[in-house]
Structure 1
């Protein structure tokens, strides 16, 4: 039997697909293993969800042009140092989905909504400092690779979380004091240009470009302890901000770095893209991510 709670209201960060992105600064992965988690919503186009990249190495999670999730882990520019895969399903459906990349040893696994969608071996350790960003590539402005949609509850762990851990964390928020939690951007309590980091308070993200913090309804349903998205009574056009009162423009001019992350030179996106039919926008849905 499914029980649906009352609808709550919370804010999420919306991206315009061109200028919006969050600069999160340097990220270190001490053990070599990691887990990256994020809730995302998109209706059109593709775009980066998360990237942590250095000059020659990095990890990248994005929606491709068809709405499929594409994941790349590159230890160096050499082809045999890169692993990648793409999901068979499209997630450009206007609903909220949870994605998690888990690297344990040399095995890379992508979970979507708690279920493994891809497993690949050969993921070598990343070396050197990494620059982390949300909603766009970590280096210079690349409008064609910007996210058109919304993000919430972005978490970076310094260890490989098990499938049980990933599924167990789908329906609740964190305190920020959890062991080996390196970064935690709820993106549900933000205003203005700062995206608060609840795990490392000194590492708040800076929001660039045209951005919107939008109040949206959040509903959840529990069935024998399993939390899953439940329909709300409204459809929030997160990817298409409308209210001038909610719109902000950064006064900081985005700086174009001359350094290369290495990832942009691989040409790994073209061979991942393929056409796929998608259905129209369904009613807005959201998982319970605020306890």
Structure 2
């Protein structure tokens, strides 16, 4: 049994909400542009419940950069990459919820990581940086036929840094507030009606559902009714403070004292 399969068994359905369900003819959601920064580090996360494991199913696309499922594996590929980084023997099963993430921290082998239910699973392929960006889509990529996601979709997040395994695991089963440090996009996808999709962050990258999709009540793996301590932590984003403290400390340099010279001023 693979590590991802072991972790999958610990994913519990926590609540019931109306979620967006795409059919086989879906074209996804258009959500503006520029979610990824060229040459930058980032993390993309999403909860998905695929209805099939057939074909290529795009989870997130920004220009020619795509995060997708194919034949039961999780993959990520920017435009200049010769091949995609892929999970290994993940065996993702149709009808199950999965938390999927890609975190890019650099261009060397191992700098880009794929996570399934917060467990790293990838083939260590070196991934080139994102050098350009374009329109951003969730659950499909209209420019590539038959690439739409088929199944249920829930909270897609984009961060401006490569999150660690511990950071991903800390809040994967909670809805974010949109105020978390480093979070630049957060589409919760729980509107429950219509075709307009909101972004919780201050960037307000609002979206529009394209093609065939419906809202259906479903059991979900995210907690809705939180206790007092959980509400406090989730409202402040405390789990990310340690990361930013370390990042700021790295950028601080101590300059040597400039020697003081005595002198005289003559009138």
TM-score past 0.5 threshold: yes
Do the aligned residues in 1 keep the contact of 2:30 with 2:210 (CA within 8 Å)?
Answer: yes
1:63 is aligned, of 65, 69, 79, to 69
Do the aligned residues in 1 keep the contact of 2:51 with 2:152 (CA within 8 Å)?
Answer: no
Q: 1:13 to 1:166 in 2, by over 3 A?
A: same
Q: Of the two, which has the highest radius of gyration? A: 2
Deviations 1:209-251 (A, max 9, x none): 1110111234xxxxxxxxxxxxxxxxxxxxxxxxxxxxxxxxx
1:140 paired residue number: 143
Q: Does 1:11 align with 2:18?
A: yes
What displacement does 1:125 show?
2.1
2:261 paired residue number: none
Q: Which stretches in structure 1 are left out of the alignment for 5+ residues?
A: 219-286
Q: 1:51 to 1:6 in 2, by over 3 A?
A: closer
What displacement does 1:121 show?
4.8
Give the structure with the larger strand fraction. Answer: 1
Do the aligned residues in 1 keep the contact of 2:31 with 2:207 (CA within 8 Å)?
Answer: yes
Q: Which stretches in structure 2 are left out of the alignment for 5+ residues?
A: 1-11, 227-267
Deviations 1:112-139 (A, max 9, x none): 00100015253232123332111112x4
Alpha-carbon RMSD across the aligned residues, in angstroms, is 2.4
Q: Does 1:186 align with 2:188?
A: yes
Q: 1:179 to 1:20 in 2, by over 3 A?
A: same
2:43 paired residue number: 35
Q: How does 1:217-232 map to 2 (within 5 A)?
A: 217-218=219-220
What displacement does 1:8 show?
3.3
Structure 1 segments (4+ residues) deviating >3 Å: 5-8, 28-31
Do the aligned residues in 2 keep the contact of 1:9 with 1:216 (CA within 8 Å)?
Answer: yes
Deviations 1:156-206 (A, max 9, x none): 001110110011112211110111111101111242111111114631111
1:50 paired residue number: 60
For residues 73 and 83 of structure 1, what CA distance do their matches in structure 2 show? 8
Give the structure with the larger helix fraction. Answer: 2
Q: Does 1:130 align with 2:137?
A: no
